[in-house]
Amino acid sequence: MNDRPERSAQEFKDLFERCLGEAGLTTRTLRLGVLADTKQDLPENSIDSWRRPHTTTGQPSLPREETVGVLARWLCARDAVTVTEEELLAAWRADKDARAASRKPRADEPSGPPARLGRGEFYEGIIDASIYLGMDHLLGRVDHRLRELLNTGQPIPTYFMYLTHRGYLNWVARTEDPQYSYHRAGVELCESKGAEIAAAILAATGRADVDFVSLGPGTGAKDRPLLESLSAAAGRVAGTVYYYPYDINPAMIVHAIQTVLGGDLASKMLVKGIIAPFDSLGLFSHVYKDRAGPNVLGLLGNTLGNMSDDYGFLETLLASGMWPGDLLLLEVRCHVDEDAGQGPGLGEETKKRLNFGPLEILGAAYEDHRDLITVRREHSRSVIPGTVTTVTRCERVQCGGMTWRDVRLCYVHEYSEADLDDALAEIGYTTVAKLHAGVRGADSERVVLLYLLQKP
């Protein structure tokens, strides 16, 4: 290896990419191969972080020393790989030394950023965040809570699909599936109408320095165009936008922040992650109400339509999550014909596999239950009139010596626009604006509807 002093601190990434290319591996196949042969699990989002620039530092991350040792031994042993284990390790050491040197201020320079972050600040791998300490009853005893739900015949809440790291990866893969037309339509709506939405927010609040609270940000693909437009508007009046990604899974928040802070947004806004379940929203409203600026809550991706008590959540959100003048950006799916068949989106098999995911936490095998899973459209699953719900059920679940029958795995509500308008007004929301995007399926047309609502 050439030990030139002007080394770019990117050599590990370059050699790593070369190894992957020569071996014909992707992030996923690398993880699976290392796991099968060494029993060491390298999370896919960690591998991806070694391949792309960090949104704050502009450089890829580096694996830890013990991790790079395992990685180099396994990867450089592939037949087609011409890079040696010693070369890959030397590149890693050089990058590590170069980054350490770059963080040391010269004698004539001021010291670097303080170790203590201010509100919303981020530096390298550190981000300002709030964490709900009551998460232990969700994360520590997921299996226990699932059994309680199954024993009492209750539907499994949607957030169980996203609690684990595997659930997070399943969601990322879902959003990247070209068949998932609902997601694509929602992203395109936010991208094409971002400036219009920002203008409507400014008109309703009278100011641009808003706090944007993203309830379930996913990959951040919808948040980014909205925040770009809001930040541009705030910049014109010397304001600052705060971004509060709020999710139960820390990996989701990390992914969303990396998406949103790509490009030049990192220098234009402040970020504070909130790791908590939605039913703690009332507690965390005091976190994002830290300053006098208005709050815009984003409930995108038909998150509302995955709730068994959608009407009740809208009531709670208005009462305990919003102050007078705050806004709610709500994305839902609307049907055109109540009697239409399955809506567009993922294939039937993919939907079944995704919705069965929480039961795998208990050890139930999807392959043993595939033929027992049904996906049907039903009426009267929501108190909002005119709603049609796609319900995924499993006729019988067997694992660990237990048997549960008629297990409800997932709800997906599609609303009648007129009836939803009435319900929102009845709860107390004022409709500021509505935007539509068409979604065409195999047998009918659906609509993605984006509401901008305000609490009087």
Say what the pLDDT of residue 338 is: 64
The Cα–Cα gap between 220 and 259 comes to 6
Letter string b/e over residues 270-290, b meaning 16 or more CB atoms within 10 A of that residue's CB: bbbbbbbbbeebeebbebbbe
User: Which is more confident, 70 or 5?
Assistant: 70
Looking from the CA of 161 toward its CB, the CA atoms found within 13 Å total 22
Does 1 map to a domain? no
Cα-based distances in Å from 385 to 42, 207, 304, 338? 47, 36, 15, 11
Residues 131 and 191 in one domain: yes
Question: Which 8-state DSSP code applies to residue 156?
Answer: P
User: Is the whole-model pTM more than 0.75?
Assistant: no
Q: Are residues 89 and 226 in the same domain?
A: no
Residues 216 and 89 in one domain: no
* Structure confidence at residue 137 (pLDDT): 59
Please, which contacts does 98-107 make with residues 24 or more away whose CB atoms are closer than 8 Å? 98/7, 98/8, 98/9, 99/9, 99/59, 99/62, 102/9
For 145-192, what is each residue's pLDDT tens digit? 888 889 998 888 887 887 777 778 878 887 877 778 888 889 999 999
The stretch 219-242 carries a mean pLDDT of 89
Q: What is the mean pLDDT of residues 234-243?
A: 83
Chosen domain end from 102, 132, 164: 102
224 lies in which domain range? Answer: 121-456
232 and 130 belong to one structural domain? yes
CB 433 within 8 A of CB 452: yes
pLDDT at 339 (0 to 100) = 60
The per-residue pLDDT for 102 is 65
Q: What is the mean pLDDT of the chain?
A: 84
Q: Is residue 110 part of a domain?
A: no
Specify if 116 maps to a domain: no
Cβ neighbors of 220 (< 8 A, separation 6 or more) are 214, 245, 255, 256, 257, 258, 259, 260
Tell me the mean pLDDT in the region 408-414.
88
pLDDT-derived band at 211 (thresholds 50, 70, 90) equals: very high
| 277: in domain | yes
**450 in the same domain as 376:** yes
Same domain, 82 and 144: no
193 and 240: one domain?
A: yes
Same domain as 150, residue 92: no
- Give yes or no: residues 418 and 453 share one domain: yes
pLDDT in tens, 269-304: 899 999 988 888 888 888 998 887 789 999 998 899
Q: What is the CATH number of the domain that holds 150?
A: 3.40.50.150
The 10s digit of each residue's pLDDT in 360-376 is 888 899 899 999 998 88
Q: Does one domain contain both 330 and 194? A: yes
E strand segments, 233-365: 241-247, 269-271, 273-275, 295-299, 327-335
**Amino acid in position 98:** A
Amino acid found at 338: E
Domain end among 47, 73, 102: 102
Specify the number of domains making up the chain. Answer: 2
Least confident of 3-17, 75-89, 416-430: 3-17
Last residue of a domain, one of 37, 68, 102: 102
Does residue 113 sit within a domain? no
Does any domain span residue 3?
no
Is the model's pLDDT at 224 over the cut of 90? Answer: yes
Phi-psi region of 400 (alpha: psi -120 to 50; beta: other; left: phi over 0): left
Same domain, 308 and 264: yes
Residues 6+ apart with CB under 8 A from 336: 444, 445, 446, 447
Provide the pLDDT confidence category of residue 116 given band limits of 50, 70 and 90: low
Place of tokens 């234009």: 268
Both 220 and 322 in a single domain?
yes
In a domain, 412, yes or no: yes
Is residue 356, in this structure, part of any structural domain at all? yes
